[in-house]
Amino acid sequence: MTGDRANIGRRQLLQGALAASLPVALLSCAGGKQAKPLLQVGGLPVTCNLTLPVACVARDTLNAAAAGAAPPPFSYQYSKYSGWPEIKESLMAGRIQAAYMLAPLVMDLTDRKIPVKIVSLGHRSGAVIMVRTDSPYQNFRELANKRIAIPSRFAVDFLFLRKMLAKENMTPADITIVEMAPPDMPAALYANAVDAYCTGEPFGAAAQRAGYARPLRMTRDEWRNYICCVLTVREELIASNRPLVQDLVSMIQGAGLWLDAKQGNRDKAVAIACGPKYFNQDPKILQFVMENPTDRVTYGDLRMIRAEFDELMELSIAAGTIKHPIPYEQYVDSSFVANARATPIPL
């Protein structure tokens, strides 16, 4: 084999080696004669996951601008889930290799020997405690003996609620805690089925914008370094394709900086995320989150700070959702953030 035919043979061998290095679930026909890496990343249609749709669209835009370049560029596809249990099961089973997850859930998974690692934050702040607009409650202590809804006892929203209780020298025994899916919380508050709810956005903003609820407390005021949703990947993906994971982390970091750079970028993000391919939500609600106030959820500081994870661990142990301390290195791989060069977002 000589000349062009030899070159074609070498290219085919290289393409075959690339395909063999990736889990089957990551490969997809990308509209050409060759397959390129397409990573499915699980997420929920919540504001704390907003960096993911932005990163997916930005990577596709960069890929289109570099059409014909070799090797084939990476690509990411947002895979929408309805709840954390479904994402957890898919990640545990290996049906997906990457997802946004609740940080305490990842800690628990690694303690159960599920091979996953947190590789980046996805946001900061973004949780609220909502009460009815016509309610008399002004101080958190006034919620004593009231019914308060939370998403689950693994949710960091629950830890936020516990922090507020501790601040007022109260305990969970002083309130009635109800576990409820966040999309059901606004209607439950409207119907007086609960007196308050504690959750992430946009489920606080939905009721506030409708006029029948107001925030009693917000993490932006009470817990500025609050983290909840974290980018989590299976360890076999790290082992088989570090460049892909590094690119994804750099895209997420870039998306975070871009979102916080100016309001116009947030407006673009709303238009992207609310489409049927991603959150499929009313854009007016997500826009409300982005503006009332503008730091209701923030994305620009996605550093991996060990002390913040240690605090989450301590709070989770106190809450009983994690039984004992879990070594930081067991559930976190901070090397990707350390090596990240935030990718410019061409949107």
What does the pLDDT look like over 271-302, one tens digit per residue? Answer: 999 999 999 999 999 999 999 999 999 999 99
Q: How far apart are CA 235 and CA 237, in angstroms?
A: 5
| Cα–Cα distance for residue pair 100/233, rounded to 1 Å | 9
In this structure, the chain runs to a length of: 347
In CATH terms, the fold of domain 3-120+228-317+331-338 is D-Maltodextrin-Binding Protein; domain 2 (3.40.190)
31 conformational bin, left if phi > 0, alpha if psi -120 to 50, beta if neither: left
Mean pLDDT of 157-183: 96
Q: What per-residue confidence (pLDDT) applies to 218?
A: 97
Q: How far, in Å, CA of 51 to CA of 60, rounded?
A: 14
pLDDT of residue 35: 43
C-alpha to C-alpha distance for 54 and 252, rounded to whole angstroms: 8
Q: Cα(97)–Cα(25) distance, rounded to whole angstroms?
A: 8
pLDDT digit string, tens, across residues 111-152: 999 999 999 999 999 999 999 999 999 999 999 999 999 999
Average pLDDT across the chain, whole number: 89
- Would you say residue 175 has pLDDT above 60? yes
pLDDT at 142: 97
More confident residue, 315 or 13: 315
Cis peptide before 202, with omega less than 30 degrees from 0?
Answer: yes
Can you give the pLDDT at residue 30?
34
Alpha helix ranges (H) inside 68-184: 84-93, 103-111, 156-167
Indicate the residue type of 180: M
Mean pLDDT of 210-219: 98
Quick one: pLDDT at residue 71?
63
Residue 245, helix vs strand vs coil: helix
Residue 36's pLDDT band, with cuts at 50, 70 and 90, is: low
Token pair in block for residue 109: 């998974």
pTM above 0.75, yes or no: yes
Instruction: Classify 124 as helix, strand or coil.
Output: strand
In DSSP notation, 34-61 reads SEEEEEEEEE-SSGGGTHHHHHHHHHHH
Query: In this structure, what DSSP letter does residue 120 have?
Result: E
Q: Which residues pair with 39 in a beta bridge?
A: 76
Phi, psi (degrees; rounded to nearest 5) at 232: -125, 135
Tell me what pLDDT residue 190 has.
98
Q: List the beta bridge partners of residue 196.
A: 131, 148
Q: Name the band, by pLDDT with cuts 50, 70 and 90, for residue 153.
A: confident
- Phi and psi at residue 145, in whole multiples of 5°? 70, 15
State how far the alpha carbon of 338 is from the alpha carbons of 120, 187, 250, 347, in Å.
10, 43, 10, 25
- Identify the residue with better confidence: 89 or 36: 89
Cα three-residue angle 218-305-121, rounded to 5 degrees: 65
pLDDT recorded at residue 321: 92
- DSSP class per residue in 154-197: TSHHHHHHHHHHHHTT--GGGSEEEE--GGGHHHHHHTTS-SEE
Banded pLDDT at 194 (limits 50, 70, 90): very high
Model confidence over 321-337: pLDDT tens digits? 999 999 999 999 999 99
The CA-based angle 265-128-283, given to 5 degrees, is 35
pLDDT of 72:
63
Describe the crossing of helices 283-291 and 263-273 by its angle, rounded to 10 degrees: 150
pLDDT attached to residue 68: 72
Class of domain 127-222: alpha beta
Residue ranges, comma separated, of all CATH 3.40.190.10 domains in the chain are 3-120+228-317+331-338, 127-222
Find the angle CA(83)-CA(156)-CA(232) to the nearest 5 degrees: 60
Cβ atoms of 336 and 249 within 8 Å: the answer is yes
Give the dihedral sign, CA 301/307/308/309: positive
Indicate if the pLDDT at residue 255 is higher than 60.
yes
Q: Looking at residues 63-85, what average pLDDT do you find?
A: 85
Pick the range with the lowest mean pLDDT from 21-25, 112-116, 191-195, 268-272: 21-25
